A and B are shown apart, each in its own frame.
Chain A
């Protein structure tokens, strides 16, 4: 669920994702590892998408990755993002394997590149913290 009342979408944690969002508030990017097959996955869910085992452990990731792809948004989805234009959104492959979408900070359309090493930071938004990445 998304709470758009305050402007930018605010993620609303569910039972499956509460641990992840609480991690973000502490400055930790948390992933899940399957106790059976050891596969690491993101986003958090109740079972392993590889073996369907429900015994998952969560752990703090390194918070590092590389940019798989990116786009420079020129036409924002909602007025809440109008002040940010142009802004960068990327798909980031984390060091532990999974890919996540995130906004980029600390680089411009001229300096961003596929393959660039990045690390996580957290932006306070409403009552939660949203992960962004900047060049490592």
Chain B
């Protein structure tokens, strides 16, 4: 076992907070980051002065050279450890791993991770286009005018070619996720959809339709982490970090080693090894779903089904509430919200809600171990976390 295994059971999430999501005109990244933070502090039952570590993500709308420091200044807190973390969509969970390491080594005791942005109402048309094109290699990809959905369409098309995955199976990801969002009072899109609705929505970049693509949202969420042995002193107790792992394979999609498999394999294996668990032990998963094919690739690479069987796995209903592996129980990026870097934070707070047994109509029965996974770039950066109701 690597020394890394010492993080298992070492920290607990003792507070969570979500802002509203959707259209929040007039709200900015600092404002929303602090609102999410305040909610998480309130949930943890602690004063802001207890926070001695702060991790934020930078804004795409209104980037700051020292984002975390500005949040600390505005909140009036004076942390010992302060970090603006950038790993795209995977940043939220990489932040958890950093926080756990900082707590486990005594760098700090109580870490606030808060992340928010206002992509929906804050970006001008030009900024939105510039954001999209900044994902492409400026010399070797940008000249062809492919928007981000086309990059993910490459993955979908390759998976269809290699394994016979169908547009109906991609659509089933969106349909299942929307059904879950319908049970979440805060989700941005709650009206149920059918496979036919997805297939008849406009093609954006073949084979991806509009409803294969995630939302654009304002909003953010926060968590408070502390030493596991202190968790029982908090009003809601703790949800424990059992395993964490990252994997990184490329930046630009044209340089990806594979179009159908990702470094989620490595991040998942590392997280499971740390936790001493296997995919069969997991009761629910919150996966990164910026586009429907990503969920299929992640289900395979994380070991929930064999390579190539992600499409049939979703189509058979295994990822629905009541299925073998309820997935994206809050509605994911496809239906709950996608505010950019903060998007996956809602998957994390949802996992805590599920493990606390607070999810109401969308509660996964007997949820004791949950997996959350996020990726950034175009299947580039991956981070997997295993969370448990019990410490070990």
Contacts and interface: CB of A to CB of B under 8 A. Distances in A.
Interface of A: 1-2, 8-14, 17, 21, 42-43, 68-78, 80-81, 84, 86-87, 89, 91, 99-103, 109, 114-115, 125, 130
Interface string B242-274: 000000000001110001000000000000000
Contact of B133 (A9, A10, A70, A101): A9
Contact of B145 (A10, A68, A73): A73
Contacts of A86: 206
A13 B139 contact: yes
B312 interface: no
| A76, A77, A114: residue with the most chain B Cβ atoms closer than 10 Å | A77
B56 to A, nearest CB: 29
Interface in B288-314: none
B144 A100 contact: no
B154 interface: yes
Contact of B138 (A1, A75, A115): A1
B77 interface: no
Nearest to B140: A43
Nearest to B138: A2
Given A91-B253, A99-B254, A109-B206, A73 B139 contact: no
A102 B207 CA distance: 18
A131 to B, nearest CB: 9
A43 B138 CA distance: 12
B137 interface: yes
B145 A70 contact: no
Contacts of B202: 74
A42 B146 CA distance: 19
Given A70-B157, A91-B253, A114-B161, A76 B145 contact: yes
B133 to A, nearest CB: 6
A73 B259 contact: no
A9 B141 CA distance: 10
Contacts of A70: 154, 157
B132 A77 contact: yes
9 contacts: A2-B138, A8-B145, A10-B143, A70-B157, A71-B153, A73-B150, A74-B205, A77-B129, A101-B253
Nearest to B159: A69
A99 to B, nearest CB: 6
A71 B254 contact: no
Contacts of B142: 2, 9, 11
The 3 lowest CB-CB distance pairs between A and B, nearest first, are A71-B153, A81-B145, A72-B206
A102 B144 contact: yes
Nearest to A1: B138
Given A2-B139, A74-B202, A74-B205, A80 B154 contact: no
Nearest to B207: A71
Given A77-B129, A103-B144, A69 B139 contact: no
Contacts of A11: 138-140, 142-143
| A1, A70, A71: residue with the most chain B Cβ atoms closer than 10 Å | A71
B140 A80 contact: no
Contacts of A2: 133, 138-139, 142-143
A91 B259 contact: yes
A14 to B, nearest CB: 8
Nearest to B155: A69
Nearest to B205: A71
Nearest to A102: B144
B42 interface: no
B206 A74 contact: yes
B203 interface: yes
B204 interface: yes
B86 interface: no
Given A74-B204, A74-B206, A114 B139 contact: no
A2 B157 CA distance: 28
Nearest to A87: B145
B185 to A, nearest CB: 32
B10 to A, nearest CB: 36
B259 A68 contact: yes
Contacts of B207: 71
A22 to B, nearest CB: 13
B133 A74 contact: no
A1 B204 CA distance: 27
B203 to A, nearest CB: 5
Contact of A75 (B137, B144, B155, B205): B205
A43 B139 contact: yes
Nearest to A77: B147
B138 A91 contact: no
Contacts of B139: 1-2, 11-14, 17, 21, 43
Given A71-B153, A71-B157, A75-B204, A89 B143 contact: no
